[in-house]
Amino acid sequence: MDDLRHGEPLAPRTTLGLGGPAEHFLEARESTQLEAALRWAKEAAQAVTVLGGGSNAVVPDAGVLGLVLDVATRGLAFAKEGERVRVTAQAGEDWGAFVDRMVEEELAGLECLAGIPGRVGATPIQNVGAYGQEVAETIDRVRVVDRRTGERRELAPEDCAFAYRDSMFKRDLGRWLVLEVDFLLTPGGAPALRYAELEKNAPPVPTLASVKETVVALRRRKSMVLDPADPNTRSAGSFFTNPILPNDEAARAIEAAVRAGVVEAPEAVPRWPVGEARTKLAAGWLIERAGFAKGTRRGAVGLSTKHALALVHHGGGTTAELLAFAEEIVAGVRARFGVTLEREPRLLGVD
Ligand code: EPU
């Protein structure tokens, strides 16, 4: 393992730009290198933390003990399969560039997921989704290494147990290393127009390319497209998931909003049914109405001026400050609405 580095700073490898170094670090460009690294870590009794694009990761100030693996494997393969095309992407492929390429190839199924930072291998973990689409709809196979046994396995969608921002991988984070993902895409398929905000802004001729451009424009407006010139994008995207609550709990939160004078009528609280029994509320809305306006600052950290769900690092801060602000938000939302927000990005070496 002569390509191993020690004390590698991780902050520059994350979009938040916070946190300490990795004890050991390896940038793996081949999947065989990844497997060799896993064997090394096992023999050396070192914990392994997988880092992809660093866009959904929070690094503790003390850094990360053990081996941090940068999955940087690249490559795409296409195979016609009946009416569809199977696209096999290596885990280290850049997600945004991958979606752009699929749209160029007139392959439908991922167009609403444009402009999302990160890498392909991370998308099944939290079932990345936006604007009415999620990767669970098109993922057909995930090839992984089972870190318990060191064996390669091929998982079908049923094995992955995908749900909103969730999968079996996320519930058992330490066990799997994603090597490649197969998507089944539809040549010449129609773009998905399912999200009210996207439908409202839809281009006159909704093609895959024009819908993709609309999505990127909407994301840009919310500072959700990485841009060095936009300080709001020094974030990990949504810092909390949207809470999905049993209907009665959601109703209590909505009543609390009316009682607190946050809204006049319950109908004014944004919400979406999830099946029959549950309701999704908008975390960004709850945060703002709990008194944390967009742009709220706490020293070197704060809320994006465009979207209350994104915590932003303004430079010179610490992860401790960021997490303290997140805790303050969780407590504020709980006090006002009785809802406990859950963190969305991963705290490396801890989760
Ligand atoms: N809202 C506010 N204030 C805010 C932000 C949002 O009141 O500061 C309200 C909006 O008015 C709207 C509702 O909250 O009624 C939902 O807002 P939005 O459409 O912006 O979407 P979101 O639920 O906040 C989710 C995803 C995003 C994804 C968008 C679009 C989660 C945790 N986040 O955000 O994903 O891009 O929908 O599909 O599900 C990410 O995961 O990092 C991410 C950016």
Query: Domain residues of the chain, as ranges?
Result: 5-71, 76-221, 235-347
Ligand 1 proximity of 242 Cβ (cutoff 6 Å): yes
Distance CA 32, CA 37 (A): 9
Beta bridge partners of 238: 310
Ligand 1 proximity of 191 Cβ (cutoff 6 Å): no
Tell me the pLDDT tens digit for each residue of 96-119.
Answer: 999 999 999 999 999 999 999 999
Atom 40 in ligand 1: residue holding the nearest Cα:
238
Ligand 1 proximity of 285 Cβ (cutoff 6 Å): yes
* CA–CA distances in Å: residue 349 to residues 22, 83, 310, 313: 10, 43, 22, 20
Just list the catalytic residues.
165, 238, 344
Distance CA 143, CA 152 (A): 7
> Atom of ligand 1 at shortest distance to CA of 132?
38
- Opening angle at CA 77, ends 72 and 82, nearest 5: 145
Tell me the pLDDT tens digit for each residue of 26-39.
Answer: 999 998 999 999 99
Q: For the chain, what is the mean pLDDT?
A: 96
What does the pLDDT average to over 238-267?
97
Kindly give, in sequence order, each residue whose CB lies less than 8 Å from that of residue 275, ignoring residues fewer than 6 positions away: none
Domains 5-71 and 235-347 share a fold: no
> Atom of ligand 1 at shortest distance to CA of 165?
39
* CA–CA distances in Å: residue 296 to residues 59, 184, 286, 326: 22, 42, 14, 12
pLDDT score for 174: 86
Distance CA 94, CA 38 (A): 23
Atom 10 in ligand 1: residue holding the nearest Cα:
285
Confidence of residue 62 (pLDDT cuts 50, 70, 90): very high
* 119 closest CA partner among 192, 15, 191: 15
* 189 closest CA partner among 288, 103, 86: 103
* CA–CA distances in Å: residue 49 to residues 139, 253, 284, 294, 350: 24, 37, 29, 33, 9
284 C-alpha to center of ligand 1: Å? 6
145 C-alpha to center of ligand 1: Å? 33
pLDDT score for 133: 98
Confidence of residue 2 (pLDDT cuts 50, 70, 90): confident
Give the residue ranges of DSSP H helices in the chain: 31-43, 95-104, 157-160, 168-171, 196-200, 208-221, 247-259, 283-289, 319-337
Ligand 1 proximity of 96 Cβ (cutoff 6 Å): no
What dotted CATH number matches 5-71?
A: 3.30.43.10
Atom 28 in ligand 1: residue holding the nearest Cα:
130
Distance CA 203, CA 71 (A): 36
Ligand 1 proximity of 197 Cβ (cutoff 6 Å): yes
Do β-strands 235-238 and 151-155 pair in parallel, antiparallel, or remain unpaired? unpaired
Helix (H) or strand (E) holding 346: strand 346-347
What dotted CATH number matches 235-347?
A: 3.90.78.10
* 182 closest CA partner among 138, 220, 150: 138
* CA–CA distances in Å: residue 203 to residues 108, 199, 206, 289: 17, 9, 5, 32
Q: Which fold has domain 76-221?
A: 3.30.465
Task: Scan for tokens 């009528």, then name that residue.
Answer: 265
What does the pLDDT average to over 183-201?
97
pLDDT score for 173: 85
Atom 41 in ligand 1: residue holding the nearest Cα:
238
Distance CA 49, CA 57 (A): 11
